Structure 1
Amino acid sequence: MRSPFLYLKNAIGMGFRKLRFGGKFKAGAIQTFDKLHVEIYKKGSISLGSYNQNRGNLYLVADGGHIEIGDHCFFNTGASISSTESVKIGNNCKFGNNLVIVDHDHNFKNETDEEFLSSKVEISDDCWVGANVTILRGTRIGRKSVIGAGCVIKGNIPEGSKIIQKRV
C-alpha cells in the first residue's frame, strides 16, 4: 500500500485542478499520481476514471482535444499523452516507461490550412503497452492486446493481438 500522505496529496491536487480548469477536468475516486502535469487549452478536456496511478512524470495535454482515461490504469515513468481531437484509454490498462500517445501530426505537407492533422486514438480495456512505445493518430488497439517494447503503432490492432514490432 502506498503512503496515506500520497493519497491526501493527490486528493488536494485533484481538487486544485478541478478548481483551476472547472468542468474541463474531471477525476474519479482515489488517484495516486506522482508528478502529474496537466495542461488544458481551448475547448480541451481531461476525464480520469477511478484508482489510476503512475510512477514518475505523467504529462496530459489537451490542446483543444479530449483525453479520457478509464479506471485502474497504470503509467510508468515518462508518459506523455497529447490530444487535439480525442485519446480514449479503457479500463485496466498498463503502460511502460517513456510512452508517447499523440492523436495529431504537424501538417508539414500543407495539405490543409490547419497546423495539425488529427484523428482519434482508442485503446480498449485490459491492454498492456511496453516501454518506449509511440502510438500515433488514427490508431485503435483492441481489447486484451499486448504491444511490445519499442514499437511505433499506427492503424487498427485487432482484439487479443500481440505486437512485437509494427512498422508504419
Structure 2
Amino acid sequence: MFSVLRKIVKTLISESQNRGVYYSLIMNLSQLNGITRGLFFKFLYLKNINSTIYSLQSNSKIEIFNNKSRLNIGKFVFIRKNASLRIDFNGVLSIGDNVFINDNCNINCVNKIVIGKKTKIAPNVCINDHDHNYKHTTDDHLIRGEVIIGENVWIGSNVVILRDTIIGDNAVIAAGSVVKGEVPSNTLFINKRENIIKNIIKKEKYVVKAN
C-alpha cells in the first residue's frame, strides 16, 4: 500500500509540473471521483471483486449476477466513461496492472476473459467470451469460450473480439477489426475489407476495396 501511495504522490507532482496546478487539480478531482466509484462497486460486490486502487469514471458500471462470478482488477487500472463490465455464471474477468479502457467499451464474461498488464483499449470496443446458441446444439443457451489478451496490447476503436480468441503480447489490433482465433505476439492484425455496392435497378455490382 505504501508503494501505491508513493507512486500517487510522485504522479501528482509530475502532473502539476507538466500541466499546471489548476488543470492538474481539475484532472485529479475527476480521478478522485473515479476512484470513489471504484470503491463503491468493490463494496457493493465485496466477495466478487479482488482489487486495490482503480478508477471507474462517470456512467461506467460493473454488473455481477452470480455469487460464483469473479472480477480481478490490478493496480492503477483506468476505466473511462460509459463502459460496461458484466460477469455472470462462473465467469472470471481478470484485468492486469496499468490497463486503460476507453469510453463506451463493453466486456461480457460468462467463462474467462484475461486482459494483460499495460494493455490499452480504445473507445467502442466489445469483448465477449460467448455466443448465443441459436442452433440449439446443446441445452445451454450460450456457447462458452475464452478470450486471452496479452500484455502491452493496443486494441483500436470499434474492435469486436469474439470467443476463443488469443492475442499475443505487444500485438496491435487495427480499428474496426473483428477478431476470432489466434493473433501472434508482435504483430499487426488488420481485417481485409471491401465495400460492395449493388445497383438495385440494373442489378450491377461494384466492388470497392477499402484503403
Q: Could you tell me the TM-score, scaled by structure 1's length?
A: 0.92
**Rg: which structure is higher?**
2
Q: Is 1:23 aligned to residue 86 of structure 2?
A: no
Identify the structure with the greater helix proportion. 2
Q: Select the residue among 126, 130, 151 that pairs with 1:125.
A: 151
Q: Evaluate the alpha carbon distance shift between residue 160 and residue 84 of structure 1 in structure 2; reply closer, same or farther with a 3 A threshold.
A: same
Q: Evaluate the alpha carbon distance shift between residue 144 and residue 72 of structure 1 in structure 2; reply closer, same or farther with a 3 A threshold.
A: same
Matches within 5 A, 1:2-13: 3-13=27-37
Residues 37 and 55, structure 2, Cα contact 8 Å, conserved in 1:
no
Q: Is 1:137 aligned to residue 163 of structure 2?
A: yes
Matches within 5 A, 1:50-65: 50-64=75-89, 65=91
Letter in 1 for 2:122: G
In structure 1, the partner of 2:125 is: 99
Q: CA offset at residue 34 of structure 1?
A: 3.8
In 2: Cα distance, 1:166 partner to 1:88 partner: 26
Paired residues in the alignment total: 167
What is the DSSP-based 3-state SS (H/G/I as helix, E as strand, rest coil) of the residue aligned with 1:8?
helix
Q: CA offset at residue 56 of structure 1?
A: 2.1
In 2: Cα distance, 1:27 partner to 1:36 partner: 17
Q: Evaluate the alpha carbon distance shift between residue 57 and residue 14 of structure 1 in structure 2; reply closer, same or farther with a 3 A threshold.
A: same
Q: CA offset at residue 17 of structure 1?
A: 1.5
Q: Evaluate the alpha carbon distance shift between residue 166 and residue 59 of structure 1 in structure 2; reply closer, same or farther with a 3 A threshold.
A: farther
In 2: Cα distance, 1:166 partner to 1:56 partner: 30
Query: Percent same amino acid at aligned positions?
Result: 32
Aligned-residue RMSD, C-alpha: 1.7
Letter in 1 for 2:69: G
In structure 2, the partner of 1:114 is: 140
Q: Evaluate the alpha carbon distance shift between residue 30 and residue 107 of structure 1 in structure 2; reply closer, same or farther with a 3 A threshold.
A: closer
Q: Could you tell me the TM-score, scaled by structure 2's length?
A: 0.74
Q: Evaluate the alpha carbon distance shift between residue 34 and residue 51 of structure 1 in structure 2; reply closer, same or farther with a 3 A threshold.
A: farther
